[in-house]
Amino acid sequence: MTNYTADRSFTNYVHDELVVPQIYKKELDWVIKDINPDALEAMDIQNGIDYVLTDVNNKDIYIQERFRDVFYQKYNDATIRYRRDNNLNPTRVQSEFYKIKADYLVYGITNGKKFLDKRHTLTGFIKWVVIDLNFLREKFKNNLIKITKDSRTTCYMSDDILCCPENYNPDGSSSFTPLDVTLLHQLWGSEVIYKQFGYFY
């Protein structure tokens, strides 16, 4: 099983078994909308949208999901893929950060392991967050958040600007930017953090 296939299998399992019943249904009262699989795949590739849901007013909500297993519990951020500079396809060098048109990022750290033989350990979340991406896009557009290239690996404030570093995955396949959930909440509260569990109280 390739890394991508394994990660996708883990993400799909977490979506079906944990996110839908524990977050969408119980915490948010959102319902998964039935979308043609080919159309949904196109939305994912072109706009970084994994699922379409509806709220209590039957309004469509566009979601990107990202999950990590218990190994990442010490981190207090949510991550978005940034670049794949080594990709042979030039159209795929710029990753989710550039194309994402989802309304919310749903990010969570599970309480178990991602491996196939450990799936029974995945029963819930240590922490999860729903981040308003429309709000974040405006902050990036107005230069109140920026991506930095320096030695730091976590977000920090500089002259009233939230600086988030470009970090690289160990295998060199891609980079990502972390979004410090606590810092986002301190700066903009519920305007950016729609709902969360476990990041702060």
Q: What CA–CA distance (Å, rounded) separates 201 from 138?
A: 26
Report the predicted TM-score, pTM, of the whole model to 2 decimal places. 0.91
Task: Report the pLDDT value the prediction gives residue 161, as an integer from 0 to 100.
Answer: 96
Nearest to 95 by CA among 73, 66, 68: 66
pLDDT at residue 96 in the model: 65
**pLDDT at residue 5, rounded to an integer:** 76
How much is the pLDDT for 99? 80
Residue 101 to residue 87: CA distance in whole angstroms: 22
**pLDDT at residue 90 in the model:** 63
Q: Any idea where the domains of the chain sit in the sequence?
A: 3-132+177-197
Q: What is the pLDDT of residue 141?
A: 92
Question: Would you say 166 and 145 are in contact if contact means Cβ atoms under 8 Å apart?
Answer: no
Residues of the chain with pLDDT under 70: 1-4, 84-98, 172
The pLDDT of residue 100: 86
